Amino acid sequence: MFFSFIHISDIHLGRPFSDLTKFSFDEKIKSIYNNAVEKAFNNFIDFALVKNVDFVLISGDTFDNIEQDFRSKLILKEGLKKLAAADIKIYIVCGNHDPISAYNKNTFDFDENSNIKIIGVNTPQYGKFLVTDKNSNPQAIIHAYSFSDNHLEENPINYFEHPQNDEKILFNIGLLHCDLDGDKSSPYAPCSTNDLKTLNYDYWALGHIHIPSYDEETIQYSGTIQGRNNKETGPHGLKYIKVENNSIIKNSFIPIDIIRFENIDIDLSQANDITSAYNIIQEFILDFINRNNNLNCELFLLKLNLSGNICFYSDINEDFYNTLSERIKNDFNNKIYISEISNQTHPKTEEKILNDDDGISGEIYRTIDDNNLDSVIEKIEKDFKNILLQCNFTKTEYNEFKEEIKEYSKEECINLCNIIYYNEIKQEQ
């Protein structure tokens, strides 16, 4: 017995991109972000049709809001109808953003025999569905539970049933929107990996977490299909699962996103001036492109995290950002945009200059010697005696720990001197 299915979640139709309005002057970006979610959704529909999967599972937060705009309703309804017309069955649970009441019965007028099941809308709130193939041979059992309200404070596992008798020999799937292994007082269906495991299902299709996560092969969050801000970084897409004789034989993640957010950490300590810093950044971006050039994404939005101690600290300014962003956009054919630059660099001054300085920075710098650092260690040993005892360090570990603290304190003091010196020089100018 063989079958395949798709698991997706958190489509959030109607949810805007945050931080992108600052690009609204750019017609190209505007058109990409206006259509990204619809295109990503259609990528999913096309994939399901091409692979001719047996069924599709959607794990909640399909809509961003209880009240939806017409376009969102249309996207969902048209997509579902295409799948149903190809004899692909669809199971949708409701999440905290789109509880049962979000599905207006006039719009989502599927009857109980329809291939489209919106749990709690045209079925009871907890549903158990036997999926059969075209010859009516049983394939799988889907256990599904929907949010009736924006909040579900109890553990939803209480509603799920253990597979009974004949069901045990089938492939059992749990379909749920929930807060797994989080705070027990979470209002979003709190439960634990252990709770799920006690039911002995073969796969859990979960929703709520927007970054795909699959620590366990059988308990997975597929994540949102399209990230909407620079916290939802990395690839977004769908899970494609193939099952043979009740075992998962393929479990793959297929990216279908149109806009991708990424954070890139760039250490500039090796740069000796602003031009070489620019070249280093360009190389990082080239490398990023080379690693991602086979993707269908139309736009990459990169947040650059710049770090390192640099002697050209004052050159990392608005003027640099503007030139860099403009150049990157042009060099990469409007496909890469710098969405944000986080400047975590520190000013660096030659140690000799600090040592000779007759201001506060020089005074602090000259006090950083081993004797003073030893007294820092002595103070830590005295003040945190009990905590240190609990660490059960071996003698070697303890010595390493002390060396690390000294190294770290020294670095921080030198950073401080550099910052003070930099500000002193700036004031004099």
61 vs 202 by CB, closer to Mn ion: 61
User: Phi/psi zone of residue 103: left (φ > 0), alpha (ψ -120 to 50 degrees), beta?
Assistant: beta
Give the range of 2-10, 16-24, 41-49, 383-391 binding Mn ion by CB under 5 A. Answer: 2-10
Contact assessment for residue 381 and residue 344, using Cβ atoms and an 8 Å cutoff? no
Among 10, 179, 202, 262, binds Mn ion (CB under 5 A): 10
Min CB(63)–Mn ion separation in Å: 10
10 vs 232 by CB, closer to Mn ion: 10
**What span, in angstroms and rounded, lies between the C-alpha atoms of 196 and 105?**
32
Q: Contacts with Mn ion: how many residues (CB under 5 A)?
A: 2
> What sign does the CA torsion over 350, 354, 359, 361 have?
positive
152 vs 328 by CB, closer to Mn ion: 152
Helical pair 395-428 and 360-367, crossing angle rounded to 10 deg: 160
10 vs 202 by CB, closer to Mn ion: 10
97 vs 303 by CB, closer to Mn ion: 97
Residue in 152, 126, 155 with CA at minimum distance from that of residue 141? 126
Give the range of 10-18, 42-50, 289-297, 396-404 binding Mn ion by CB under 5 A. Answer: 10-18
Say whether residue 64 binds Mn ion (CB under 5 A): no
Residue closest to Mn ion (Cβ): 61
Min CB(20)–Mn ion separation in Å: 19
38 vs 61 by CB, closer to Mn ion: 61
- Name the β-bridge partners of 174: 143, 204
Here the tokens at position 303 are 């947040």
69 vs 166 by CB, closer to Mn ion: 69
Give the range of 9-17, 31-39, 313-321, 337-345 binding Mn ion by CB under 5 A. Answer: 9-17
Min CB(61)–Mn ion separation in Å: 4
Give the range of 57-65, 215-223, 333-341, 368-376 binding Mn ion by CB under 5 A. Answer: 57-65
Among 38, 61, 179, 232, binds Mn ion (CB under 5 A): 61
Min CB(108)–Mn ion separation in Å: 19
Measure Cα distances from 179 to 111, 263, 329 in Å: 30, 25, 39
Residue in 172, 186, 178 with CA at minimum distance from that of residue 158? 178
Contact assessment for residue 343 and residue 389, using Cβ atoms and an 8 Å cutoff? no
Q: Which residue has the tokens 């599904």?
A: 144
**What span, in angstroms and rounded, lies between the C-alpha atoms of 39 and 300?**
16
Here the tokens at position 276 are 């070489």
Interface residues toward Mn ion, by CB under 5 A: 10, 61
